Amino acid sequence: MIARIQNRQEDDTGEASDAGFHQAFATALMDEDPAAFPAGLDERAARRFAIYRNNVHRGLQEALAAAYPVVKTLVGERFFYAVAADYMRSEPQRSPSLALYGRGFAAFLADNDAVARVPYIPDIARAERAWLEALHEADAPAMMVTDLAGQEDRLISLCFRVHPATRMVSSNFPIVSLWRANQADRKQARQVPIPDRAETALITRPHFQVQMTLLDGGAGNFASQLLAGASVGEAFEYALAQDADFDVTPVFARLLASGMFCGFTLGDQGF
Amino acid sequence: MTTGIAPDQDRISKNVIPAASLPAQAGVGFKADHIADVFENAEPVTWFEVHPENYMVSGGPRLQMLTQLRQNFPISLHGVGLSLGGGEPLDKNHLRSLRALVDRFEPAQVSEHIAWSGHDGKYLADLLPTPLTSAALAHLVDAIDEVQNAVGRRILIENPTSYLALPQNSMAETDFIIQAARQSGCGLLIDVNNIFISAHNLGFAANDYIDVLPADLIGEIHLAGHEQDADTRDDVLIDTHSRPVADPVWALYQRLITRVGAKPTLIEWDNDVPAWQVLAAEAAHANDILDQCRHWPENQSQRVAS
């Protein structure tokens, strides 16, 4: 069935109908019916309207595919583009820049009944979103381990300023292992067994290159406290309370090397 | 107390003397995949064009790459998102973002399309057809004026690719774009491939369109490849930017610059992007035609006269 979208403000002059024209054209572009077209087009023009429709849909859906490549791999292209079509109608893009398109896609996936059968998919989407945000975040020099020279006696009191491009995503599923196994450059590699465990992804951007670091439970506890502004001592006590075997030294070294911080303060000592 | 790391984020192109305008030579659309080739030896390409929308981010490697590109070449910011032909006021946030890029990168050229790409605050990710009516012309002129005031400089506007003729159209497209430029004080970016495609799809003579374009308004020319639509029920060409420039488009280009003189000429190749050498060969072909046009004495006098 052919749907004709009426110009709301159509009149006889044609001139004054431009406002109604944009509305009718835009509505028909996003119509669920692939044969929809704005009123007034002849048969050939109505058929060619599909070219604009395809361009619009492809533009938005390819932007989503570029932002969520691992989700696309995991759910398959057909399912991904079907969900992407629903998503583009559900959460219209406001900015003419598609660099950060798809902000709410993880939550949208979490509400999808079919996705619920693969419960780690929304968390993979959260990790991919964090990666994209980290890529485009503001620049700042990352703090290096050597910046702590001379602070050895006060380490326990230190609090850190978080680099703008730092993100952390915790999941009950092995999101980092799944993410790594499904990178385009790993697809040809031998299948690596995915461990059955909770994982936390720390995403940072040292030297303008985004990287994802796997944090186990204790490291995730410690890092989350530092990200929230706790001092090294407070974060250590928190992690130790969760896991009596928590070994802070190697974890602290890894976090510092990740580039997740861009400065430090001497906490409640008031410096 | 914070660490004493000196911020070195302001080492943008402030030390580069901005090019007053693009050279009347071949440029290409910049692709990140070509970055190594571009910095090793960009010959014969002397300038690059990018879509500003792709750089409207806070920071990170993409802006860093554009900074490096700008330190070595003049660049042109060619927008796709201002929606000059839309039915509603321009997006002020988008205008501010564009102004910030113009201030930071000091482009040799800023341009946009005669098209609309959003409605009711929703971005539609395509260049949609502007009605060729006096009401749409008045709106377009106001929109161009607002952009030129916002970025503090003259812009160029590009002729559209057409797949269909809107029923309310009441002006010739050439009249529409020339009047838009004359009334707003902007220049024209003439996409020769668009003219070829529109002429084919709508059934007019591309030569007639080419021959009425005023030389003084043309600030830049675009060339690109197109494809036949997969839907074979209809003989329609699609502006895919996925192929070499077609021979009849080269012929139209030669016809245009023989009359109007050498103009900065961009090769656009955005899909199925080839190896750098393939793109560079297209640019070399454009340069050959530009050189021929410079060596015709009658064109020299014509250009001085125009």
Say if B273 falls within a structural domain.
yes
**Chain A residue with minimum CA distance to B121:** A94
With an 8 Å Cβ cutoff, are A15 and B231 in contact? no
* Number of domains within chain A: 1
Residues in chain B within 8 Å Cβ distance of A47: 231, 233-234
Q: What is the CATH number of the domain that holds B290?
A: 3.20.20.150
Say if A22 falls within a structural domain.
no
- A194-215 pLDDT, tens digit each: 999 999 999 999 999 999 999 9
Say if A36 falls within a structural domain.
no
Say if B5 falls within a structural domain.
no
Nearest to A98 among B125, B164, B165 (CB): B125
Check: complex ipTM more than 0.95: no
With an 8 Å Cβ cutoff, are A40 and B128 in contact? no
Say if A32 falls within a structural domain.
no
- Let me know: does B237 contact B227? Beta carbons within 8 Å: yes
- B72-93 pLDDT, tens digit each: 999 999 999 999 999 899 999 9
Range B161-165 average pLDDT: 97
Q: Among A55, A147, A158, which would you mutate to test the B interface (most chain B Cβ atoms within 10 Å of its Cβ)?
A: A55
Residues in chain A within 8 Å Cβ distance of B122: 26, 92-94
**Chain B residue with minimum CA distance to A27:** B119
What is the band of B13 on the pLDDT scale with cuts at 50, 70, 90? very low
Say if B250 falls within a structural domain.
yes
With an 8 Å Cβ cutoff, are A136 and B57 in contact? yes
* Number of domains within chain B: 1
- Let me know: does B53 contact A96? Beta carbons within 8 Å: yes
With an 8 Å Cβ cutoff, are A21 and B54 in contact? no
Ranges of residues in chain A with a pLDDT under 50 are 1-2, 7-16, 270-271
Residues in chain A within 8 Å Cβ distance of B123: 92-96, 98
Say if A110 falls within a structural domain.
no
What is the band of B3 on the pLDDT scale with cuts at 50, 70, 90? very low
- A214-258 pLDDT, tens digit each: 999 899 999 999 999 999 999 999 999 999 999 999 999 999 999
Closest CA to B286 of B254, B258, B260: B254
* pLDDT at residue number A65: 98
Closest CA to A160 of A28, A266, A88: A266
DSSP A12: S
Beta bridge partners of B189: B158, B220
Nearest to A18 among B8, B87, B125 (CB): B87
Catalogue the long-range contacts made by A38-44 (C-beta closer than 8 Å, 24 or more residues apart): A38/A4, A38/A5, A38/A7, A39/A4, A39/A5, A39/A6, A39/A7, A39/A10, A40/A7, A40/A10, A40/B167, A40/B168, A41/B164, A41/B166, A41/B167, A42/B167, A44/B164, A44/B234
> Would the CA dihedral through A191, A193, A199, A202 be positive or negative?
negative
Q: Which domain holds residue B65?
A: 19-305
Nearest to B164 among A48, A56, A95 (CB): A48
Say if A159 falls within a structural domain.
yes
Say if A233 falls within a structural domain.
yes
What is the band of B15 on the pLDDT scale with cuts at 50, 70, 90? very low
SS3 content of chain B, % helix, strand, coil (to 5): 45, 15, 40
Residues in chain A within 8 Å Cβ distance of B165: 45
Q: Which domain holds residue A181?
A: 140-271
**Chain A residue with minimum CA distance to B3:** A263
- B98-151 pLDDT, tens digit each: 999 999 999 999 999 999 999 999 999 999 999 999 999 999 999 999 999 999
